[in-house]
Structure 1
Amino acid sequence: MIYKHIILDLEGTLFTSEKFKERTAQLAIECVSDFFDITLESSDILINSKKKELQLLNGYKPALSFSLLQLGISLNNWASYQSKAEFTDIINFNQGLNSFIKELSSKYNLILYTNMCSELSFKILQHLQIRKYFDPIITPQYLGTVKPNLEVVNHLINNKIIDITTTISVGDRYEIDITPFVKLGGKGFLVNQEKSLYSLKYFLNEK
């Protein structure tokens, strides 16, 4: 199989940090608390309740941004909170990642697709020194929606940004990062404890 386009997720794929997850989760609690004028404790309960509801409905654990959207929180409102997340003390520059992404960019068109807001995404990519290797960078502000969503994949196809038959989507959540591309004819590569991001190069070289 000859690939031309690689879609990469950000958090959980290009970097992993439990502390970062905790910080964004706390910001989500503050966002919902302010929006509904309720206590932080009530906000936490409301978010977890919505997550459980969506998981029962869809069969998989929903993304935080999607859960907030279903609660009525606008993308711009959530972005104003999410962009405050501190990360420089827990996400370090990784020379190995930098070299790997640089190498991939010399052979493939790299596209970043994340549920993280634009401002925070750009800051983290700049911090990791890999922002210049991605075009386009797709955040919720790109088309006003979050993953998983076939609308974004169709947009990429219809505007000839990708040829779906030569596209592979890479992420740590199959239903969210990969399924929409596979449904329309692309391939997927799931990053987990058994398969690291760096093992992607062996997958790409398979005949």
Structure 2
Amino acid sequence: MLRAAKIKAIIFDLDGTLYTSKGMEREIAAAAESLVAQTRGMTPAQGRNLLRSAKKRLAESLEEEPTLTRTCLELGIDIPDLHRAFQQQVHPERYLENDPILFALLDSLRDHCDLYIYTNNNLPLAQKILALLGVEELFSRLYTIEFCGMPKPDANALQKVVADIGGTPDSFLFVGDRQAVDLKAPRALGSSVLLVRDTSDLLQIHKTLGIIP
């Protein structure tokens, strides 16, 4: 249960939480598959199959679905190389546009809490996505792969984020679309968490904080 009175900072995941886009998901997957193929001297189809096999093995080992970044790391892909591929091959401007409803939902929270982004994305791509959505001005800071060093879920990266923001664990609310990736570690830390599947689910925050009845 959320402890509304103590919440001072809301930390949002980005992809799949503040927006959804099948087109961007396809471009991100294709960029990773292409990079794997290039590093192994394979065709793109072979790279795709290798990623799928690695993801399946990791899922069995971890007993939860791994992120694309974690899977690429398992295959020896360096994080900077992966994100260079994303910047070159992922084009959010093809899929995203200004979202006034999202802006209103987030803006109404700022009188009550500071807002942050904590994402596995890189900073240039995260900034571009937020600018296209029209909400870039609403966040106090973006915590991206450049700051964290390792992708979620990672306990050390999470500790860096919360230490930089400052405050006790129960003063944070983490919002994301994946339990294992976005919410499991913050919950273990003692923070409140909220699973969302659609932008409209963000209204649950308002109800919890007493902004709307």
Correspondence for 1:90: 95
- What SS does the aligned partner of 2:92 have? coil
1:88-127 correspondence runs (5 A): 88-127=93-132
What do the CA deviations read for 1:125-171 (whole angstroms, capped 9, x no partner)?
11112122222211111131100011122223444534211111100
The answer to whether the Cα contact below 8 Å between 2:121 and 2:144 also exists between their aligned partners in 1 is yes
CA separation of 1:59/1:90 partners in 2, compared to 1, >3 Å: closer, same or farther? Answer: same
Say whether residues 1:61 and 2:69 are aligned partners: no
What do the CA deviations read for 1:31-62 (whole angstroms, capped 9, x no partner)?
11112221111100111111111111112211
Unaligned runs of 5+ in 2: none
Correspondence for 2:185: 180
Structure 2: distance between partners of 1:82 and 1:125? 16
Which of the two has greater helix per residue?
2
The answer to whether the Cα contact below 8 Å between 1:156 and 1:162 also exists between their aligned partners in 2 is no
Say whether residues 1:133 and 2:135 are aligned partners: no
Say whether residues 1:198 and 2:203 are aligned partners: yes
Match of 1:34 among 34, 38, 42: 38
The number of aligned residues is 206
Structure 2: distance between partners of 1:22 and 1:204? 36
Unaligned runs of 5+ in 1: none
User: Percent of aligned pairs with the same residue?
Assistant: 25
Structure 2: distance between partners of 1:32 and 1:24? 13
Q: Aligned letter for 1:78? A: L
1:2-41 correspondence runs (5 A): 2=5, 3-41=7-45
Structure 2: distance between partners of 1:194 and 1:58? 29
> TM-score if structure 1 supplies the norm length?
0.92
Cα deviation for residue 8 of structure 1 reads 0.2
- What SS does the aligned partner of 2:14 have? coil
> TM-score if structure 2 supplies the norm length?
0.90
The answer to whether the Cα contact below 8 Å between 1:75 and 1:141 also exists between their aligned partners in 2 is no
